[in-house]
């Protein structure tokens, strides 16, 4: 079996200008993921679950494991010296690393260190999401805001770790999507899913239907379409919603389906973060043959304006996303 480290080294030739730095960077993410995975598996046995009582910049109450994961990923990335800075969903501002080696490095990382952390209390799968860019500021100086405010199509790599019945790390560097499963007896990630692809069509739709009354008309029409009886198109579709983006995305990637987190009356710009969640997942889904949109525009073409920018998110099987986009365009005038 091929390990994650061996596989990354084997593919180094795809990045002749990286000189091993990207390999080291992905190695740091792998290390931090193993540390976080260990603590998640101890949740309930040690005092690491529950809320801290502190709100993050989005006004959400942080979980203890949110902060733990954030610190472990930052520490691992800084220690390798291959990153000049990180931006995290758990930090108000980006963090610039100031060691001599770090300021000479060419990469920045954006991350959601523990997506769906509130689900840990009830033993539901959670995950980590990461996105890697080349800095646009000169090497030899601290990272600047512009290094992080780049559109998704400039990503060098992206991926996620799902901490579930098995722990998997899935990533892309623009050459397909590859998944590695952790052998818990050894703590080693082995290649288990090479060149993952998503079917053009699926029978699963993932959305929090409890917010139905607040959805745009186009989304309401699409949900009715999903529920109509039409044997030729395998409808009605099956509703599956975990409430953890990584888990919902991972299932749909393997089986085919669509994940929808639209704007609502109470969140007109959407809820998911463009830089920490939507861009990396969009990169992955496109590399797997799917599509990601805000309902009208390709996610990876959106020009970021702020670190914690939110957008509506439609992601999954290509034909399913195209169908909901058609309905969004058709009924958008009703929202005017």
How many other CB atoms are found less than 10 A from the CB of residue 75? 13
Q: What are the strands, taking DSSP E only, across 121-233?
A: 126-134, 155-163, 167-172, 177-183, 188-193, 204-206
Known binding residues for Mg(2+) are 89, 112, 114-115, 277
Rg (C-alpha) for the chain, rounded Å, is 19
The structure tokens listed for 216 are 């745009």
* Cα 135 from Cα 147, distance rounded (Å): 5
Nearest Cα to 160, choosing from 90, 112, 107, 108? Answer: 112
* Cα 206 from Cα 214, distance rounded (Å): 16
The structure tokens listed for 194 are 């090479």
- The secondary structure of residue 194, as a DSSP letter, is -
For the four alpha carbons of 297, 303, 304 and 305, in that order, the dihedral sign comes to negative
Known binding residues are 89, 112, 114-118, 208, 241, 271, 277
- Does residue 117 contact residue 65 with C-beta atoms inside 8 Å? yes
- Let me know how many helices (H) and strands (E) the chain has, helices first: 8, 15
CA distances from 223 to 204, 217, 227, 232 (A): 11, 10, 6, 18
- Does residue 308 contact residue 255 with C-beta atoms inside 8 Å? no
- Beta strand pairing call for 167-172 and 177-183: antiparallel
* Cα 240 from Cα 243, distance rounded (Å): 9
End-to-end CA distance of the chain: give it in Å, rounded. Answer: 56
Known binding residues for substrate are 115-118, 208, 241, 271
């Amino acid at each position: 079996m091929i390990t994650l480290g061996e596989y990354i080294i084997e593919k180094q030739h795809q990045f002749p200008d990286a000189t091993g730095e990207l390999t080291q960077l992905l190695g740091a993410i792998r290390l931090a993921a193993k540390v976080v995975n260990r603590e998640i598996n101890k949740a309930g046995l040690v005092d690491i679950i529950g809320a801290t009582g502190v709100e993050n910049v989005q006004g959400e109450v942080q979980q203890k494991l949110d902060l733990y994961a954030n610190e472990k990923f930052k520490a691992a990335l800084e220690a390798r010296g291959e990153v000049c800075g990180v931006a995290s969903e758990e930090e108000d501002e980006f963090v610039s690393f100031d060691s001599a080696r770090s300021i000479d490095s060419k990469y920045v990382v954006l991350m959601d260190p523990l997506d769906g952390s509130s689900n840990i209390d009830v033993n539901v799968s959670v995950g980590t999401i990461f996105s890697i860019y080349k800095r646009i500021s000169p090497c030899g100086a601290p990272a600047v805001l512009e290094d992080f405010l780049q559109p998704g199509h400039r990503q060098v790599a992206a991926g996620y770790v799902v901490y579930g019945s098995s722990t998997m790390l899935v990533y892309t560097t623009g050459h397909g999507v590859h998944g590695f499963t952790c052998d818990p007896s050894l703590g080693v990630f082995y290649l288990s899913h090479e060149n993952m692809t998503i079917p053009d069509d699926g029978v699963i739709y993932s959305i929090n239907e409890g917010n139905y009354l607040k959805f745009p008309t186009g989304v309401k029409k699409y949900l009715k379409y999903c529920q109509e009886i039409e044997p030729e198109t395998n409808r009605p579709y099956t509703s599956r919603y975990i409430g953890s983006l990584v888990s919902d995305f991972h299932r749909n990637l393997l089986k085919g389906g669509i994940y929808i987190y639209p704007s609502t009356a109470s969140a007109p710009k959407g809820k998911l973060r463009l830089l920490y969640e939507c861009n990396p997942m969009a990169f992955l889904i496109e590399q797997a043959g799917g599509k990601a949109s805000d309902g009208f525009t390709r996610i990876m073409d959106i020009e970021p304006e702020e670190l914690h920018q939110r957008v509506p998110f439609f992601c999954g099987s290509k034909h399913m996303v195209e169908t909901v986009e058609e309905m969004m365009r058709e009924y958008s005038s009703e929202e005017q």
